[in-house]
Structure 1
Amino acid sequence: MRVVMTVLILMLAAMVQGPAMAAIDVYNFDSDNQEQMFRELTRELRCPKCQNQDIADSNAGLAKDLRDKTYQMVREGKDKEEIVDYMVARYGNFILYNPPLMASTLILWLGPLLVIVIGGVVVVMRSRRSPVAVRQNIDSLSAEEQQRLAALLKEEEKQ
């Protein structure tokens, strides 16, 4: 019985280990400079499918293809700018984590600032609401509602 259990555990471990080992990509480089450039590029290029992951961290098939293409171009001796230009020509500026400031990417750069400014204006406008308007809202309450409001305000003052 122990032998059977041991064999089953070993078989289960082998089945679990197989796919995990198959997921690791191994790239061999001629120099440390090539390896360093490859690592920098895979950290700077965004996966078009995952959107918030660089191609180094993404498990998507497209990211693997991009890593392979980057590896191929690094091995061919292309410089960083040529590889980035190739990827931008193919996938657009979205592939870059820091897209250049252009008319087409202006919303990417100014969008967050615009949202903050609009939010600030809304908060200021609401906080500066005229006391007269508040008083008019109170006056439009029925007598019963005004009595209830007065009672609630008195309760609040006691606490």
Structure 2
Amino acid sequence: QSENIDDSNADISRDLRLLVRERLVAGDTDAQVIDYVVDRYGEYVLFNPRARGSNLALWLAGPAMLLVGGGLAFGYLRRRKAEVTAAGLTQEEETRLREILKQ
């Protein structure tokens, strides 16, 4: 995983290299070879899976979670700031402050 078949030493990579070579020698185009391998092994074998179908949800989940998290953090910080500035002095605190300032 996370390696192309040319760099990998795994058995399946060796098998895929042979399969790709056979298909290309047989006259298949690059697109036909890719479609053949994906049909046979699934999109798991692609170095960069296609962003369509069920994979599209996975491709969009990361940015969506980042946006939601950023929105929640922004809302939390904005609310927290409003709470801090809205808090005034109690009557007892105001009286004590006046006494201190008179001295």
- Category of TM-score, reference length = shorter chain: 0.5 to 0.7
Partner deviation per Cα, 1:86-116 (whole Å, 9 max, x = no partner) = 1110122232234334322212321221121
Query: 1:128 and 1:112 mapped to 2: Cα distance?
Result: 24
Q: Give the TM-score normalised by structure 2.
A: 0.67
Q: How does 1:79-158 map to 2 (within 5 A)?
A: 79-130=29-80, 131-132=82-83
Query: 2:83 and 2:58 mapped to 1: Cα distance?
Result: 41
Give unpaired runs (5+ residues) of structure 2: 88-103
Give the counterpart of 1:77 among 24, 27, 40: 27
Query: 2:9 and 2:46 mapped to 1: Cα distance?
Result: 18
State the one-letter code of the partner of 2:83: V
Give unpaired runs (5+ residues) of structure 1: 1-49, 137-159
Highest RCO, 1 vs 2 (Cα 8 Å, sep ≥ 6)? 1
State the one-letter code of the partner of 1:53: E
Q: 1:135 Cα deviation (Å)?
A: 7.8
SS in 1 for 2:49: coil
Percent identity of the aligned residues?
31
Query: 2:85 and 2:18 mapped to 1: Cα distance?
Result: 65
The alignment yields a C-alpha RMSD, in angstroms, of 2.3
Q: 1:129 Cα deviation (Å)?
A: 2.3
Q: Give the TM-score normalised by structure 1.
A: 0.46
Other-structure match for 2:17: 67
Query: 1:73 and 1:134 mapped to 2: Cα distance?
Result: 70
Moved over 4 A (4+): 133-136
SS in 2 for 1:129: helix
